[in-house]
A = this chain, B = another copy of it.
Amino acid sequence: MKIILDAMGGDNAPKEILLGAQQAVRELGVEIAAVGDSVKIDACVKENSIDMTGITVVQAGEVIEMEDDPTKAIRHKKDSSMVVALRMLANGEGDALVSAGSTGALLTGATLIVKRLNGVKRAAIGTVIPGKEKAWLLLDSGANVECPADMLNCFATMGSVYMEKTMGRKAPSVALVNNGAEESKGTEIYVAAHQLMKQNPAIQFAGNIEPRDIPRGEVDVVVCDGFTGNVILKLTEGWAKFFSGELKALFKKNVGTMLAALLVKGGIASFKAKLDADEYGGAPLLGVNGVVIKAHGSSNAKAIKNAVRQAKACCENGMVEAIRENIQR
């Protein structure tokens, strides 16, 4: 299996991307096509003694920057690592694509170059977030700020397929974010979406989920529009940072608390692992005609490797085919 990697995307490119590629080849047995500026890649490989076994470099002279306008960048930077990578995926020159570059550009590019599946109005971004019981998928986590009811229902189907195919969840439960459990709750769009999801044969609908219950991780898929999803995702990041900062401050107060830190060290490590987004790899772009994984902009080698693992699982388990079938039902 060959995974196409945007070697120039993200805050730590190309170094962490290439180190992640090296880990992926060794641990996952995949081939990697690393797309980017070959001069820069060669220099980075030498400087960090990266073993390039199983990794082919594909030349692309430009880079899409985070501040570029997504649509303009995709249309005009034809030789950017992201556009070249997307074209390779569209042409079947690889099985899946992983990029830590601009989310907006990747989404626009995937839609324009890889294309959407029939019946999918808009692609969505799914993000796996840890919870008390288990990790859960949030979608749309920011791609589409405004979503009519049928789009939310489509997200429900795609999210359910993703959790079944790549996370091994049997009959995943799917809930709709809302400000109350009753069917009548929420905006007109959410009331209509609730009815559509209730009748959707492709999902196990668990009804509305109130935001207070989301961290419990009792459902597999949490559906909402991208504006709300962005709030859920980013507010979660913000509070996690707040709490870990408070915890650190707590242990740094004096000798006694530093001793306390030693005593609970193991527990804190497992607590951090639970919250460690790197463990869950990247965010899938669902609804496009190919496997596209958006790794976090700040991804390190481990996060890249896990995103590749995720991409591999999507391919092996026929995720795109399964979405196509379920959408057409």
Contacts and interface: CB of A to CB of B under 8 A. Distances in A.
Contacts of A179: 142, 145, 226-227, 230-231, 234
Contacts of A264: 250-251, 253, 256-257, 260
16 contacts: A132-B245, A146-B188, A179-B226, A179-B230, A211-B235, A212-B238, A215-B241, A216-B238, A216-B242, A231-B231, A232-B235, A249-B267, A250-B264, A251-B267, A253-B267, A263-B263
Given A235-B232, A238-B215, A267 B257 contact: yes
Given A242-B215, A250-B264, A260-B263, A231 B232 contact: yes
Contacts of A188: 146
A-side binding surface: helix, strand, loop or mixed? helix
Interface residues of A, number: 53
A259 interface: yes
Nearest to A270: B250
A240 B215 CA distance: 9
Interface of A: 131-132, 142, 145-146, 177, 179, 186-188, 190, 210-216, 226-228, 230-243, 245-247, 249-251, 253, 256-257, 259-261, 263-264, 267-268, 271, 274
B263 A238 contact: no
A77 B215 CA distance: 37
A144 to B, nearest CB: 10
Nearest to A225: B187
Given A260-B264, A267-B250, A215 B227 contact: no
